[in-house]
A = this chain, B = another copy of it.
Amino acid sequence: MKVTILGCYSATPRTFTNPTSQVLEINNHIFLIDCGEGTQVELRRNKVKFSRINHIFISHLHGDHFFGLVGLVSTFRMLNRENPLHIYGPKGIKEAITLQLKLSNSWTDYPLHFHELTNTDSELVFEDDKVIVKTIPLQHRIYCNGFLFQEKLGDRKLLISKVVNYDIDKAYYKSIKKGKDVVLPDGSVIPNTELTDDPAPAKSYAFCSDTRYDEDKISLLNDVTVLYHESTFLESHKHLCQRTGHSTAIEAATIAKKANAKNLILGHYSTRYGNIEHFREEASTVFENVVIGDDGKVFEF
């Protein structure tokens, strides 16, 4: 599982800091999460292949999370994209994008599917044989969702020496990996656990930006491998959190701790601060495995 931070600063794009966008690679999928202005340039800078992006998840319709989307949708057309593109985001996102395409008389030549979200409870928004994605309702100034990406457990691992030893025909390997026992010609049964190991543990990634401190979401985040949680403010500006709908670094760390997350990535920093290392310092007083997200950083788990 790999996370590439394209941008993780709040409010406006600036010369050396980008608004929110990140790329999650999980179980052979590439998901784009949020799409602030400048995202398509950051995708190029970070050498993410445009053609591999088929699903885009937008948390909410503040500009620093979606003003880059219409440009990316248009660029896909200019690059002669043919694959369908799926966009998941709050109701209204379809009108915002299609109005601008209509005004520019530049409809896409590829299928463009909008999955508009209105639910304030967590819901399943994507599922295939590899990954499922659920929303994480967040408490912000406008309707806002985080997203929980969960790998599905893979097949059991075949112990080659064992199956060779029993002289089991290869035709049975697939069913053995699915957990089936084997019945030998003499009628004796070899239990599956003797022929296989457990599959690699399923990993998960939770994206939570933007949100007030809110313990309601902890049950959704339980045991998550990686939690990306916004930390717009340091303790010195904690009084701004309620009104602006944001969290401090310590609040992000508290959520990580209470959810028993394995790792925490911080981001969505207010641009008022000179040194983002202070966010790590404050968060680490509560939760140990914390790292500082920053534009262009790549994390592998």
Instruction: State A67–B44 Cα separation when bound (angstroms).
Output: 18
CB-CB < 8 A to A78: which residues of B? 11-12
**B63 to A41, Cβ gap below 8 A?**
no
**A141 to B105, Cβ gap below 8 A?**
yes
- One digit per residue, 1 when the CB lies within 8 angstroms of any chain B CB and 0 when it does not, for chain A 36-48 equals 0110110011000
**A41 to B61, Cβ gap below 8 A?**
no
**B99 to A103, Cβ gap below 8 A?**
no
Task: Please provide the chain A residues from 84 to 117 with a CB less than 8 Å away from any CB of chain B in the complex.
Answer: 90, 92-93, 95-96, 99-100, 103-106
Q: Which of A15, A37, A67, A78: most chain B CB closer than 10 A?
A: A37
Task: Please provide the chain A residues from 36 to 85 with a CB less than 8 Å away from any CB of chain B in the complex.
Answer: 37-38, 40-41, 44-45, 61-63, 67-68, 70-71, 74-75, 78
Q: A12-B40, A38-B37, A38-B41 are in contact. Are A104 and B62 (CB under 8 A)?
A: yes
Distance in Å: Cβ of A131 to nearest Cβ of chain B = 28
**A96 to B105, Cβ gap below 8 A?**
no
